[in-house]
Structure 1
Amino acid sequence: MSNPKKKSLSDLGGIMYSTDPSFNYEHEQESVEETVPNNQQDLRVTLDRKNRGGKAVTLITGYRGSAAELETLSKMLKTKCGVGGGAKDGEMIIQGDFRDKVVLILQKEGFKVKKSGG
C-alpha cells in the first residue's frame, strides 16, 4: 500500500507520533469531482485586464469537472484561437480578446455560455 506524500504536519490531522505498534493512520479519501454533462455547465466568459501588465485575456469561469477535462477543454480552445493560455482552479485563460469566438466554440460543444462583464 503506497501512502500519498504529506506536505506538512497539518495534513496529518494533528497526529505527530504514536507509540502504539498497531496504530494505522487512516487517510481521508480525496473526493473525485464528477463530471457534469456539458448542457448542465453554466460557463461565464469575461475579458480581464487586472494584474496582467495591461494585457487582456479571455477568462472562462464556472467549469465543474476534473482537472484533466478542464485542461483538455482549455487546450482545444487555445488551439482553435491560435494563442496561449492556461487552466487551473476551474478557470481557463485564453490570451487576448476572443470572447465572441470562445462563446461560439463552447456553444457548439453543448455548453450553456454567457458573456459577462465589459
Structure 2
Amino acid sequence: MDLGDQLKNLFPDHVPEDEPNKEKEKPPYWLQEDPIICKYEKRKGKPITILEGYNGADSDFKKLTKDLKTLLGVGGSFKNETILIQGDYRDKIMEFLKKKGFAVKRVGG
C-alpha cells in the first residue's frame, strides 16, 4: 500500500489535483519602463551608491531596499524616493536589478 492509497483511506472525500497551480509568478516589485539611475557619491568621505528614478509604491521601495541590503550585507536606507546603499556596489546592484527585469543606467565613473 503506497502513500496515495493510505491517504485515500484516511480522506475518502478528498479529490487530489492532477497538477499544482503553475501560474506565472508575479514579480516581487513593480517594473517600470524608465531606467533606474545608479550613481556613486562620497558623503563625508564615505562612499555611497544612490538609486534614483524608481517610481513604485513605498512598499516596493522598502522591499527593494531590504533585498539589496541583504544581498550585499551592508546598511542603507530609503529616503525621498531614492535608495542609499553604503559602499560602492554599482556593479553588483546593476546586475541584481537586471536579473529582476529592471532597466538600469549607470551615471558617472
Match of 1:56 in 2: 47
Partner SS, residue 58 of structure 1: strand
Partner SS, residue 64 of structure 1: coil
Partner SS, residue 38 of structure 1: coil
Aligned equivalents of 1:39 and 1:67: distance in 2? 14
Unaligned stretches of 5+ in structure 2? Answer: 1-28
Structure number with the higher helix fraction is: 2
- Taking the TM superposition and a 5 Å limit, the aligned residue runs for 1:38-117 are 38-49=31-42, 52-117=43-108
User: What is the number of residues matched between the two proteins?
Assistant: 81
Larger of the two Rg values belongs to structure = 2
1:79 and 1:69, CA in 2 relative to 1: closer, same or farther beyond 3 A? Answer: same
Which string of whole-angstrom CA distances, capped at 9 and with x for unpartnered residues, describes residues 6-52 of structure 1? xxxxxxxxxxxxxxxxxxxxxxxxxxxxxx94151420100011xx2
User: Kindly, what percent of the aligned residue pairs are identical?
Assistant: 40
> What's the TM-score once normalised by structure 1's chain length?
0.64
Whether contact under 8 Å (1:67, 1:88) holds in the other structure is no
Aligned equivalents of 2:59 and 2:41: distance in 1? 24
- Residue 88 of structure 1 aligns to which amino acid in structure 2? K
Whether contact under 8 Å (1:41, 1:64) holds in the other structure is no
- What value does the CA root-mean-square deviation take over the aligned residues? 1.5
- Residue 55 of structure 2 aligns to which amino acid in structure 1? R
Whether contact under 8 Å (1:56, 1:97) holds in the other structure is yes
Structure number with the higher strand fraction is: 2
